[in-house]
């Protein structure tokens, strides 16, 4: 059973749509984990357990027919295939500790929800027109501007550019859509290409595409579904790379505060070329990711060892982590909840995995992390990390 099937089963259990057999099987799975106590499942054991439970569901066999898989004692310095404790949070998701400390730790009591909380991010952005005028998109609706030979429309939280017979079709007019921390937005370019912008991101693009190429500039993170046009290749330019496509679906993570820029291909084909330095290039196939350092002259590394669901989680309304360190998690929290992160201790080396909705308040994620010994204080827009597990 793959991860999506397993999460789907948990979702059904959570929202009350699971059958009696499915409920019993989910509870059986968690009982197996609880029984592990101070042991861990090997990857093979955990996979077999999930597959066995899933098969019983599809066969509609009662829970008591499931055999208990023997558990072996493991060295706690190893990465756990399945944690002994999995936390479910309301309608939010699931979270677990991936890399346990040298000595077994029971989850500490969850701290009470702080009176001060922050809501999740929302659909909002600012459009900067060619003349410098700024339009707050979450408060504007309908036809909001004429840019060159296109009409700019903002309807139901989506920006689009519709060609018209007005204006000069050869005039190059640039617009920029920017999302602040805590915001995201979707837009449709004049050629029909769809773009989803994550928080703290911006896209600069011509209102209508002229010439022999379609060039846009990205800062932050965006997901693109590019309309195919062999006569006009589509280029996404970041600080250190140029991504060329004809028609494809891909995600680009190019935040300045990340160590690398990651381009992940879901469909089609793209060429990634370093924009400065030694001008390396590589062609990606679906399921591959190009990793380029943020420094000038950084080389391109191609990997197929990626989790597409994790890459695309932000667009689909989730935080999803797998073997993820605390600082990486906190950077995502900072962008989505518009908070500054301050560390009063050195972040621990433990790594976490799990999935939780981006539609929940900040306290829901913090409660999960606090269960593993990481504690926080929220002071206005500053989130202070006070203590790490094992510290």
**CA distance readout (Å), 134 to 19, 139, 149, 180, 198:** 52, 12, 19, 14, 19
Half-sphere exposure (CA, 13 Å, Cβ side) for 101?
A: 12
Q: What is the pLDDT of residues 122-145, one digit of tens each?
A: 999 999 999 999 999 988 889 999
User: Which of 111-115, 240-244, 269-273 is predicted with the least confidence, judged by mean pLDDT?
Assistant: 111-115
CA angle 262, 213, 168 (to 5 degrees): 130
The pLDDT value recorded for residue 374 is 82
Question: Is the per-residue pLDDT at 290 higher than 90?
Answer: yes
Q: Which helix (H) or strand (E) holds 12?
A: helix 3-15
Residue 341 CB partners (closer than 8 Å, separation 6+): 330, 331, 333, 334, 382, 383, 385
Question: Is the per-residue pLDDT at 56 higher than 80?
Answer: no
Query: Model-level pTM?
Result: 0.75
Residue 2 CB partners (closer than 8 Å, separation 6+): none
Q: What is the pLDDT of residues 295-314, one digit of tens each?
A: 766 789 999 989 898 999 99
Please report which confidence band the pLDDT of residue 278 belongs to, taking 50, 70 and 90 as the band edges: low
Please report which confidence band the pLDDT of residue 99 belongs to, taking 50, 70 and 90 as the band edges: very low
The pLDDT value recorded for residue 24 is 76
Q: Which CATH architecture has domain 122-309?
A: Sandwich (2.60)
- Copy the structure tokens of residue 58: 């599809």
The pLDDT value recorded for residue 135 is 95
How far is Cα 231 from Cα 233, in angstroms, rounded to an integer?
6
The residue extents of the domains of the chain are 3-84, 122-309
| CA distance from start to end of the chain | 37
Q: What is the pLDDT of residues 329-362, one digit of tens each?
A: 999 999 999 999 999 888 777 788 778 888 888 9
Question: Is the per-residue pLDDT at 241 higher than 70?
Answer: yes
């Amino acid at each position: 059973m793959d991860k999506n099937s397993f999460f789907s089963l948990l979702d059904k259990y959570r929202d009350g749509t699971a059958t009696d057999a499915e409920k019993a099987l989910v509870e059986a799975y968690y009982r197996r984990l609880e029984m592990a106590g101070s042991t861990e499942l090997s990857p093979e054991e955990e996979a077999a357990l999930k597959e066995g439970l899933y098969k019983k569901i599809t066969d509609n066999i009662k829970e008591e027919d499931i055999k208990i898989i023997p558990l072996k004692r493991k060295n706690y310095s190893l990465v756990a295939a399945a944690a002994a404790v999995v936390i479910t949070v309301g309608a939010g998701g699931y979270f677990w500790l991936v890399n346990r400390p040298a000595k077994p730790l029971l989850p500490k009591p969850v701290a009470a929800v702080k009176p001060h909380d922050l809501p999740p991010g929302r659909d909002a952005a600012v459009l900067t027109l060619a003349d410098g005028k700024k339009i707050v998109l979450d408060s504007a609706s309908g036809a909001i501007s004429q840019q060159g030979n296109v009409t700019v429309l903002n309807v139901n939280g989506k920006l689009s550019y519709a060609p018209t017979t007005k204006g000069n079709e050869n005039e190059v007019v640039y617009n920029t859509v920017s999302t602040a921390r805590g915001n995201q937005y979707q837009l449709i370019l004049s050629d029909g290409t769809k773009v989803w912008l994550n928080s703290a991101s911006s896209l600069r693009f011509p209102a209508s595409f002229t010439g022999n190429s379609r060039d846009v500039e990205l800062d932050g993170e965006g997901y693109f579904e590019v309309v195919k046009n062999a006569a006009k290749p589509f280029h996404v330019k970041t600080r250190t790379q140029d991504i060329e496509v004809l028609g494809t679906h891909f995600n680009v993570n190019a935040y300045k505060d990340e160590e690398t820029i990651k381009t992940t291909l879901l469909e089609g084909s793209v060429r990634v070329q370093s924009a400065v330095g030694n001008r390396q290039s590589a062609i990606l196939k679906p399921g591959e990711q190009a990793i380029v350092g943020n420094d000038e002259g950084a080389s391109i590394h191609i990997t197929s060892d990626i989790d597409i669901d994790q890459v695309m989680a932000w667009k689909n309304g989730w935080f999803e982590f797998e073997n993820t360190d605390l600082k990486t998690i906190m950077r995502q929290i900072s962008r989505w909840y518009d908070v500054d992160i301050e560390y009063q201790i050195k972040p621990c080396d433990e790594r976490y995995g799990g999935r939780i909705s981006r539609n929940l308040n900040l306290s829901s994620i913090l409660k999960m992390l606090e269960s593993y010994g990481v504690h926080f204080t929220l002071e206005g827009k500053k989130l202070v990390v006070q203590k790490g597990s094992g510290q």
